[in-house]
Every structure is written in C-alpha cells, then in structure tokens.
C-alpha cells in the first residue's frame, strides 16, 4: 500500500500541542480536502471531514491531532523562560532538549537547561527533574530582550524531526496521535473511491492530552452511530516492561484491537472477523478500565455510542524518540478501510 509519508512527515513536524493545534489542523485540512468536500473546524478547533452517503449510518473515525508540549509561564530578569507542561511530558528526558517556541514573530529556538550534573547534590542526582528547576534558554541576555521575542502563553514543543530507522521503522515526536490522524486520512482517501452505505466522519480532535476535550464536543455534534478510535498503544517488546501487567504488543505484528468495557463487544468481533477475512495481521489488547482515549467520551455521548479502538504499536510514548513500524501503520489503514466498507445502511 502506497501511503503518503511525506504528508506524515509534515504533520509530525507541525507545532501543535494541546490547545495550540491550529497549524497541524491546517496541514491536515490541506491534505484531506483533496478527497472530502465537506471539511470544517468546530468551535474548539477539531477538524472534521465527511465522505460517503449523505443519510447513511454515521461512523466517526476519531483521532487526536494535539501533541504534548510546553507553555511559557514566566520570564526572569536574566531572560530565562520558565514553563509548564501541556499534557503528560516525561520529566526524565526533558533536560537538554532543543525546543521550538511558536511566537507572534515566528519560531524561536531554545534549549531546556538545568544545573550541570557536577553541581547537583549527590542525593538529587538520581531524582527526576522538577519543572520549577528547569528553564528554557533562548540566548537572551535580559528579560527585555527575551520579551521582544517571546510572550507569556506562547507554546513550545521538542524540536525533533521525522526520521526513518532501519528501513521499515520511523522515529520522531508526536506519533501520539499524529499517526492516528495519518491513518484516518489515508483510509478516507481509499474509502472516497468506494460507494459507501455509511456516512463517514474523519475527526482530528484537539486537547485529548488535557482530558479528551475535542472528541467530546465533536461526538456531540456529529451524534454518530459508531465511534471508531485510531490511537497508539504501548509496544511492550523492549526491556523493562512487565507483560504480566501490560500485555504483549509487538512492533511489526499488526494493529492492536482493544477489548474490554470501553469497547462494544460486537464491534470487537466484527473487527477481528474483518482482519481474518482480509489476512490482515492483528493483535488483541485487553483493557479492563476506561482506555484513556477518545473512546471514553465517545462511548458516553448523548444516549451512548457503539465504540471500538484500534491502536498502532508505539515504543517510547511521550518522549522525543517514539518508534513506529511502517507495516503496522499500513495494516491499520487496511483494517480501518475494510471495516468501514462492510457497514451497511
């Protein structure tokens, strides 16, 4: 399957942490507009595109376009910037990161600094860095100089690009959940060439990392019959992860179909049947609690929505070096496409 990885690269490298997703949504709108005439952005900023039957069964393919990042809170007299996280940033890997700050004047570069290891008390060396003990250095010599470049409330992300690793893997930031947006977009491209009985809504939701906010409002507005969430999940094929607690998910072995109370049992069975019929490799993940994805709020929208969750295995989630396998991405597109094509009026 020939997917447009150039679009994925552009999407991943767009700055769009929770609450500041506009640039990433614009990248997505430009791509999806080639196949969907009905493209809009709702009040909170989520992108919504529709294809298929005008009055058919309504299917919402939900993905979230926001990424984790930072927001500038304070600028001190020496021109250093202090910040707070937007979403669940891993504090273990924050010091030393290069940073891209989105400002009214364009992108400002910086680095997250802290005291050198030599000057840290021995009892603190093994502790996780506290946010208040870190700062962003943009090379300014004073607060006056810094404030000409950066404003309170500006957002920032780790300045890491998209790279290929070992031929069939990809590394970069923000795969949670830009890969879901990519899968949804590529699936809609394929589905747009079919005569569908369903009315299919592709949603690039915002502020997922701050409490599933965009999916909540989008689902209320669409009022879908079926909610299909495309996300990432933890690949457990790396050292230190206890599979007895998390389950077994392996990079390269296919999309992960979730099963549990947040998932409609019939939809789970249907997804498995579609995968097996089309010889699409898949894995199963048991989740005995709310999944922490857009599926949570979609399932409980209005009088309830039949909801399913498909995930792409992802190593090192919420760090600047997340890892995906291209085979998993492509097989997730195949599964989403084949499933939607089975839906009847």
Q: Cβ of 55: how many Cβ atoms within 10 Å?
A: 7
Q: Which of 67, 208, 285, 322 is catalytic?
A: 208
Identify the bridge partners of residue 71 per DSSP, sorted by sequence position.
84, 155
For tokens 């999944």, name the residue. 291
* DSSP secondary structure letter of residue 326: H
To 10 degrees, the CA torsion angle through 38, 186, 1, 334? Answer: -100
Active site (annotated) includes residue 208: yes
The answer to whether the Cα torsion of 275, 280, 286, 290 is positive or negative is: negative
For tokens 């390269």, name the residue. 252
Q: In sequence order, what are the residues at sequence separation of 6 or more whose Cβ sits closer than 8 angstroms to the Cβ of residue 45?
A: 21, 22, 25, 206, 207, 214
Name the token pair of 220: 């209320």
Residues annotated as catalytic are: 208
């Amino acid at each position: 399957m020939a997917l447009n990885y150039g679009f994925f690269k552009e999407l991943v490298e767009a700055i769009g942490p929770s609450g500041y997703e506009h640039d990433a949504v614009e990248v997505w709108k430009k791509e999806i507009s080639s196949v969907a005439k009905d493209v809009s952005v709702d009040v909170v900023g989520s992108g919504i595109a529709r294809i298929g039957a005008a009055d058919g069964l309504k299917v919402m393919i939900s993905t979230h376009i926001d990424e984790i990042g930072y927001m500038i809170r304070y600028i001190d007299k020496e021109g250093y910037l202090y910040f707070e996280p937007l979403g669940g940033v891993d504090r273990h890997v924050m010091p030393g990161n290069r940073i891209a700050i989105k400002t009214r004047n364009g992108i400002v570069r910086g680095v997250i600094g802290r005291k050198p290891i030599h000057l840290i008390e021995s009892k603190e060396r093994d502790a996780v860095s506290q946010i208040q003990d870190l700062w962003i250095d943009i090379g300014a010599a004073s607060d006056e100089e810094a404030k000409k470049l950066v404003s309170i409330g500006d957002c920032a992300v780790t300045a890491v690009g998209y790279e290929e690793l070992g031929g069939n893997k990809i590394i970069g930031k923000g795969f949670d959940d830009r890969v879901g947006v990519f899968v949804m977009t590529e699936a809609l491209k394929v589905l747009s060439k079919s005569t569908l009985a369903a009315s299919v809504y592709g949603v690039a939701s915002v502020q997922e990392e701050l409490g599933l906010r965009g999916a909540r409002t989008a689902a209320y507005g669409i009022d879908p019959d079926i909610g299909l969430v495309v996300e990432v999940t933890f690949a457990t094929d790396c050292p230190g992860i206890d599979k007895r607690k998390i389950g077994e998910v392996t990079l390269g072995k296919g999309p992960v179909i979730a099963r549990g109370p947040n998932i409609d049992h019939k939809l789970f069975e249907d997804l498995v049947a579609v995968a097996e019929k089309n010889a699409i490799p898949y894995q199963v993940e048991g989740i005995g609690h709310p999944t922490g994805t857009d599926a949570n709020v979609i399932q409980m929208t209005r009088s309830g929505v039949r909801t399913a969750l498909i995930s792409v295995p992802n190593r090192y989630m919420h760090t600047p070096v997340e890892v995906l396998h291209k085979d998993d991405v492509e097989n997730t597109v195949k599964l989403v496409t084949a499933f939607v094509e089975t839906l009847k009026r």
